[in-house]
A and B are shown apart, each in its own frame.
Chain A
C-alpha cells in the first residue's frame, strides 16, 4: 500500500462511509434539477404478440428498452436509430454524466491513481460502468465497451492492475470502443494494465540465455486477433514475443509510476519472422508496429472478430454468410468498428433472429433497471448481485473474459428472481422505482408491460402477472425477460 496524503484522506473518508452514501443520495432526493433526458414517447408501445423489428433492434443495440424507447424509435425509424447509435458523439449524454459525476477517480492521470487504495478505484469503476449501462443514451457504445472489456479482459486483482485498470478502461476501451480496431489494439498492447495483466512487462531479452515471456504474445494471437484456429504456430508465438521484448512499466520508481517505456537494452534486436513476414534486425520499438500491422491485416483476425460480434449481436450459432459479410466489412474498412457493425446490422439474419439470446447477469440487472426507469446510486447491495452470479465487472480471472455462452450463467436464476423481487418491493438499498409514475403513463400498466417485454404478454403471462401477487417481479423473473 502507498501512504500519501490522499490515501490518508481516503482512509479517513472510509470511516464515515455511511454518511458519504447519504450525501451522494441528496441531489436525487432534494430534486436538484438533473439534466433532462431524451424525451420518451409514452403514447405508443409494442402491439404484437411476437417481438417486432423495432423492439428487437432496440434489444440488441442497447442494454434493454426504457419506457418510451419503443415509441421514440418507431417515430424516428429503425435506420435512423442505428445511425444515431453508431455515432454516439452526436448524442447529448448530460444526464448520464450527471449521474456518474461522483466517480471522480475515473478522470485521474495514471500517476495519481496510485495514490488511492485499490478497492476504491475498483468500486468507482464498477459503479460507473453499471450506471453508464443503465443511464447512458449512447447505448450501443456502452454495449461495445462491454464487448471490448471482455475481449481485452483485464482482471483488476492481478498486480498493479488494481490501479491501472481505471486508465485502461478510459484510454483504451472507451477511447476506441467505436473507433478503429488497429488503434484499439495498439492502445491495448501499450496499456500499462495489459502489460501487467499478461506479463508483457516481464518480457525481455537482456542476456543470451534469457527466454521471452510468451504470455501476451500468445493471447494477442489466440484471443485478441487471429483466434485459436487462426493458423499461427508455436513458432509465431515465440517470434511475436521476441518482437515485443523490452516494453516495460515503471513499477518501483518513486515517480511516473505506471509509465510505459521501451528499453532497447531489454529488446531482442535480431531478425524475426512472424506469420510469414520477415522483420529485419535492428528495428527496435518499431517491431511492435510491424507485428500489430501483420495481425490486424490477417484474414483470420477479421473472421475471428466477425464471429464474436455475430455471436454477440445475432445468436449463439450465427450463419456463415453473416460472419463472412461482417468479416468482409471489417477487412475492407481497415477495421473500422462502426462500418463493421453496420454490415452486421444489415444482415438479414440480424433482423429475424429475435429473442434467442440469453441475458448474462450484467445485462439482466441493467435491463431491469432500464425497464423500470429505476433511480440507483449503484451501491454495494446492487454489486453484490453480480458477485453472486459470477459476473462482477473487471473480476474475470481468465484472459478470455466472461463467456458469451449461456451455459455458464445457468446457475444465476435464483439471484435474478431475488433481484426482481427486491426491485419490485423497493427493497434494494440505494435503488428506487417510482411505480406510481411508471403506471401513470397514458396507456397505463399494460403499456409498461408491453415496453418491458417488447411485445404484448401471452395469455399465460398476463394471468401469471395478476395471480402472482407481485406482478412486476414476476414479469422481470419470467423466462421472456431472461432473453433478448
Chain B
C-alpha cells in the first residue's frame, strides 16, 4: 500500500462554505431594480435604483455589497436568486436543519459528501470549521477540526524534548502510520508558523478586523500554507431582520462584502481553484412589516465566488413580486433548490459521480454554473 499522506496529496481545490444564519434577505442584497412591485411592497426599506450598483439591467447590488462588484465584473462571482430549500416551515431551526442535513439521511450534506468522495484524503487539516464547534452540515465528516485560532491546532504545551523524541520514534518506521505521523508533524509546524500579526495578505487586501473577516483570513492562510485544506466553513450570524432591517443588515452586508472581497483579492490566481459558496436558510417576506423589517420568507440568494464559475451574471427565474405565484403569505418562491447549486460545485471539486447518497430523495437538476 502506498503512503497516502495528505501533504503529498494536496487537494487541487478548496471549498469554502459561508453560512448566513438567521435568514438573510435576498431582496435587500440583490435588488430587483426593474420590478416595480418591489418598491411598492417596501415603501421605506427598499434600495433606490440610484443607490444600487447595476448588475445586469434587472438586478442591482445593495450599496453595502458594492465591494463585491469587482469580482462580479471579473466574471468570478455568480449570484443565484430565488435559492433556498423545500422547507416551508419558515422556522430557523427547521430550515437550517433541512438545509444542513440536506434531506432525510444521516449526517450533514458536507459530511456525507466527504465520506463518499473518492478523492478525499482525511488529514488533520483537510476540513476546518472556523468557530467553536462543527456545524451540522459537517456531521459525519471523516475528519474535521473546529478552531477559533491557530493556537488550538497543536498537541498542547509540552517540554522541549517531546516533539523531537516523538519525531525520532516515527522516523525509525517506514509504513503508512509513520508517513501519517510525519504529515501531522509537518502540518503542526506549518500552522505554528502562521502568526496572525506577521501575515501580509497579497494584492493589498485588507480583511475586516472582526470574526468573519478573521475567519476568512485564516482560511486563506491555511490554503496558502499548503496544509491540505479541502473544505472550510465559516458562519456570519445575525440576519434575522424583523425590525429596522437596514440598521441590522447594513453592517452585516459590509462585513460580508469586505470579507469576501479581501479574500478574493488576497487569493489572486489561486481563486481559480477555490470556490466560496454563500448560503442562508431562507429569505424574507416581500412586503415590509410595521416595524420596518421583514418576516421569515422563502427564496433568498446564494453567491458562488471563484473556482471557475461562469460568473458576472445572476441566475434567476424571476417571479414578478406582484404575481400570484408568490408563495404563502407573499414570499419569493424557491426556484433554485440549494442542492442544485451545490452539486455542480461539488462536481468540480470531486470525482464523485453519484450524488444520491449525498442528497437522497431529491431529483437533482444541477444548475449549469460552469457554462
Contacts and interface: CB of A to CB of B under 8 A. Distances in A.
A358 B173 CA distance: 14
B115 interface: yes
B177 A159 contact: no
A410 B176 contact: yes
B126 A411 contact: yes
A437 interface: no
Nearest to A461: B169
Interface string B140-163: 111111100000011111111110
Given A418-B155, A467-B165, A390 B181 contact: no
A409 B180 CA distance: 9
A187 interface: no
Contact of B139 (A397, A420, A461, A483): A397
Contacts of B169: 460-461, 464, 474, 478-479
B122 A411 contact: yes
Interface string A130-167: 00000000000000000000000011111101000000
B161 A467 contact: yes
Contacts of A390: 122, 141-144
Contact of A413 (B104, B139, B159, B181): B181
Interface residues of B, number: 55
Contacts of A156: 106
A398 B357 contact: yes
B187 interface: yes
A197 interface: yes
B176 A408 contact: no
A469 B161 contact: yes
A418 B165 contact: no
B193 interface: no
Contacts of A411: 6, 121-124, 126, 142-143, 180, 184
B111 interface: yes
B364 interface: no
A464 B161 CA distance: 9
B166 interface: yes
A413 B154 CA distance: 11
Nearest to A424: B158
B69 interface: no
Contacts of B166: 417, 464, 468, 474, 477-478
Contacts of B107: 155, 157, 395, 397
Contacts of B284: none
B168 A389 contact: no
Contacts of A123: none
The CB with the most chain B CB atoms within 10 A, among A154, A157, A389, A397, is that of A397
Given A410-B180, A464-B168, A468-B159, 20 more contacts: A395-B140, A397-B139, A406-B176, A407-B1, A407-B176, A408-B122, A410-B5, A410-B177, A411-B121, A411-B126, A413-B183, A414-B155, A417-B166, A420-B155, A425-B156, A468-B161, A469-B158, A473-B158, A478-B169, A479-B170
